Structure 1
Amino acid sequence: MQTKPVFPFTAIVGQEEMKLALLLNVVDPKIGGVMIMGDRGTGKTTTIRALVDILPSIPVVKDDVFNSHPSDPELMSYDVQQKLANHEHLPIVYKKVPMVDLPLGATEDRLCGTIDMEKALVEGIKCFEPGLLAKAHRGLLYVDEVNLLDDHLVDILLDAAASGWNTVEREGISIRHPARFVLIGSGNPEEGELRPQLLDRFGLHTAITTVKDAKLRVKIVEERSCFDRDPEAYLQRWQEAQTQLTNQIVQAQQLLPNVTIAEELQIQISQICAELDIDGLRGDIVTNRAACAHAALRASTVVEMEDIEKVIMMSLRHRLRKDPLSTMDSGERIQQIWGAVRHST
């Protein structure tokens, strides 16, 4: 089946914060996903779909519905773990990183999967029909207009994204499977924000607006027109840049475990979080993780001040809002306190 050409990630003009947030989550999925809020027609969905094309293929156990990793037990289904323990041969194939869309009307069963109770009770067999969380394992799970999604489903999504596991229980029967994915939510702020308690659990938050600069708008329109006229020629023109970015991601993923951040920088991050009166320690943790991922993207094993500057707004902006009726902070407070902390050290 011939796939529809996707606009190349490296050809997307502007929206640098959104692109960086996505790349950081790909380098380190433990950052916790990204919430992208912005006007309609600002390229949110185009950018997210383009991301998949630059991601390196992943090794999976052939015919396994959970995209199990062939050697990492944390990323394996129970059946594959058993086969590995019994020294059975595991055939390996390479496949594209999965990208799963969660429709707004999805039910809990569609998201989590279902257990066939008739087979379980009559035949004593645990027959599990995987849901979207299983299909998204080791990939991306995208929810457009996540702010319109039922809070209960958002809770399930965030729990699975944080723990890396999905548990389905029906009538005393329980099935558990790995569900490690990068959760990407997008929405239009005019249609309402997520509750602060849910928003806080997204690792990063990016706020994107319609481009105002006339020359830049012309550039965006021209690039899109070129792609629509001859997608194959356009993709060929950007192939080298796409390959370079893929290699950069692979290198960053390999480098990440060796990245270190100095204690004085960690203290500065925590000082800022304390002065901003951010609840809990999630802001501290995410800022540290994102700074390390940014350093790895630069092919460096040492976090510098510039890495923190690039990620601190995305890491903390959405954690300032404690009242559901208040508006999102533009980031001025973060910049002011960051500047004060820098100059005091």
Structure 2
Amino acid sequence: MTPRPQYPFSALHGQPQLQLALLLAAIDPQIGGVLIEGPRGTAKSTSARALAELLPGHRFVNLPLGASEEQLLGSLDLQAALQHAEVAFKPGLLARADGGVLYVDEVNLLADGLVDLLLDVCASGVNCIERDGISHQHEARIALVGTMNPEEGELRPQLLDRFGLFVRLGAQLDPATREAIVRSRLAFDRDPAGFVARQRDAQQALVARLEQARARVGELAFGDALHRQVSNLCHAAGVEGVRADLVMLRAAAAHAAWLGQQAIGEADVEAVAELVLAHRRKTPPPESPGAAAGNPPPPASAARQSGQDWGALPPQAVPTAALSGARPLPTKKP
């Protein structure tokens, strides 16, 4: 039986920040994954599966809430090691997801210990298993995608901070966007193969662009001005530690690579800053017209940790081009 085609990334509508965050995590998995907060029916799993279709091997691995540490990391056959002096490794979910997407639905309900292990491996890109003096390691370059509905519980602040990027999805969409989403979904459900065929050129363009970005991102240098900009942003947000600084620099490099640039610029930092700071911010931003207009608040756990509830930074005009189109014109600074 032929597998049912997956909904293509090129046909996603209405969640540009989510799509951007997923692409950045795929370009550089060491960003630390994407945490998506939002109600049901906001295309979280559809978007994650669609991302996997852009990556070599199309690997999409779902981590069940009841998974054990052994299922996640893999296991070693100690008897084989003792009798034959060889390491017999049974791959776990992390090995299966190498080079693809590892999806954790309702990650806030997953045992904290497993979340810790998962984030450690995704940040390092290596899974190491040790049992009774015997060890084995393998590459685990994984685009981690976690989702949560805050009504069903929250992550501890320490775990929240360890997710690289954060996206909050609103329940409301404007009528035109709702219509576009529904039309596309109905067309896909009625004729999946035909729908995917019509998106083939756009999908292939995305695959090629993503492959080029993944090859280019490690060559982009971080200048002194870039370091100062990132440090100032993180300091102003009252962020503890330097994880946010590292993530923001990595994400800015991935953004520049996605746009095909030869250098990382100020606009690249501006494009990713809120994705990095939204779940880490401790200091309320200055009162601004954007804040007064009712921008969405940070995650509830971060707000409670500081004892305050404030608006996010005002939205920035950033060059997030149409995904399958050409590079955008640079935005003008106000």
> Shorter-chain-normalised TM-score: which range?
0.7 to 0.9
Q: Distance in 2 between matches of 1:38 and 1:2?
A: 33
Q: Distance in 1 between matches of 2:235 and 2:43?
A: 35
The answer on whether the counterparts of 1:196 and 1:321 sit within 8 Å (CA) in structure 2 is no
**Secondary structure at 2:67's aligned position in 1?**
coil
Of 271, 276, 281 in structure 2, the residue corresponding to residue 320 of structure 1 is 281
Change (3 A) 1:27 1:3: same
The answer on whether the counterparts of 1:24 and 1:290 sit within 8 Å (CA) in structure 2 is yes
Q: Distance in 2 between matches of 1:116 and 1:28?
A: 33
1:19-62 Cα offsets, whole Å, 9 max, x none, are 0001011112221111111111100000100112222x3xxxxx
**Secondary structure at 1:200's aligned position in 2?**
helix
In the alignment, residue 111 of structure 1 is paired with which amino acid?
L
The answer to whether 1:294 aligns with 2:294 is no
The answer on whether the counterparts of 1:37 and 1:187 sit within 8 Å (CA) in structure 2 is yes
2:246 is aligned to 285
Of 115, 120, 129 in structure 2, the residue corresponding to residue 154 of structure 1 is 115
Q: Distance in 2 between matches of 1:123 and 1:206?
A: 49
- 1:258: Cα distance to partner? 3.1
The answer on whether the counterparts of 2:61 and 2:103 sit within 8 Å (CA) in structure 1 is yes
The answer on whether the counterparts of 2:279 and 2:302 sit within 8 Å (CA) in structure 1 is no
2:194 is aligned to 233
In the alignment, residue 223 of structure 1 is paired with which amino acid?
S
**Secondary structure at 1:266's aligned position in 2?**
helix
The answer on whether the counterparts of 2:35 and 2:147 sit within 8 Å (CA) in structure 1 is yes
Of 215, 222, 225 in structure 2, the residue corresponding to residue 254 of structure 1 is 215
1:120 is aligned to 81
2:7 is aligned to 7
Q: Distance in 2 between matches of 1:211 and 1:167?
A: 43
- 1:240: Cα distance to partner? 1.2
- 1:298: Cα distance to partner? 1.0
2:47 is aligned to 47
**Secondary structure at 2:246's aligned position in 1?**
helix
1:1-40 counterparts in 2 under 5 A? 2-40=2-40
- 1:259: Cα distance to partner? 2.3
The answer on whether the counterparts of 1:317 and 1:331 sit within 8 Å (CA) in structure 2 is no
The answer on whether the counterparts of 1:295 and 1:304 sit within 8 Å (CA) in structure 2 is yes
In the alignment, residue 179 of structure 1 is paired with which amino acid?
A
In the alignment, residue 47 of structure 1 is paired with which amino acid?
S
In the alignment, residue 76 of structure 2 is paired with which amino acid?
I
- 1:254: Cα distance to partner? 2.5
The answer to whether 1:224 aligns with 2:185 is yes
Q: Distance in 1 between matches of 2:97 and 2:196?
A: 26
1:85 is aligned to none
| % same residue | 45
Q: For structure 2, list consecutive stretches of 5 or more residues without a partner in the other structure.
A: 284-299, 317-334
1:264-300 Cα offsets, whole Å, 9 max, x none, are 2321221121121101111111111111111111111
The alignment's C-alpha RMSD in Å is 2.5
In the alignment, residue 12 of structure 2 is paired with which amino acid?
I
1:195 is aligned to 156
**Secondary structure at 2:184's aligned position in 1?**
helix
**Secondary structure at 2:135's aligned position in 1?**
strand
TM-score by length of 1: 0.80
Q: Distance in 2 between matches of 1:172 and 1:302?
A: 45
Bigger shift: 43-52 or 174-183? 174-183
1:159-181 Cα offsets, whole Å, 9 max, x none, are 11122222223333332322221
Change (3 A) 1:106 1:301: same
In the alignment, residue 23 of structure 2 is paired with which amino acid?
L
Q: Distance in 2 between matches of 1:140 and 1:237?
A: 24
Change (3 A) 1:28 1:167: closer
Change (3 A) 1:215 1:178: closer
1:98-137 Cα offsets, whole Å, 9 max, x none, are 2211111101111111222333344544322111111122
- 1:228: Cα distance to partner? 0.8
The answer on whether the counterparts of 2:239 and 2:282 sit within 8 Å (CA) in structure 1 is no
In the alignment, residue 246 of structure 1 is paired with which amino acid?
V
Of 63, 87, 94 in structure 2, the residue corresponding to residue 133 of structure 1 is 94
In the alignment, residue 111 of structure 2 is paired with which amino acid?
D
Q: Distance in 2 between matches of 1:283 and 1:255?
A: 22
The answer on whether the counterparts of 1:256 and 1:301 sit within 8 Å (CA) in structure 2 is no
Q: Distance in 2 between matches of 1:50 and 1:102?
A: 17
In the alignment, residue 297 of structure 1 is paired with which amino acid?
W
In the alignment, residue 39 of structure 1 is paired with which amino acid?
P
In the alignment, residue 204 of structure 2 is paired with which amino acid?
T
**Secondary structure at 2:35's aligned position in 1?**
strand
1:80 is aligned to none
**How many residues are matched?**
299
Q: Distance in 1 between matches of 2:164 and 2:275?
A: 8
**Secondary structure at 2:162's aligned position in 1?**
coil
Q: For structure 1, list consecutive stretches of 5 or more residues without a partner in the other structure.
A: 58-95, 338-345
1:64 is aligned to none
**Secondary structure at 2:143's aligned position in 1?**
strand
Q: Distance in 1 between matches of 2:38 and 2:138?
A: 34
The answer on whether the counterparts of 1:265 and 1:305 sit within 8 Å (CA) in structure 2 is yes
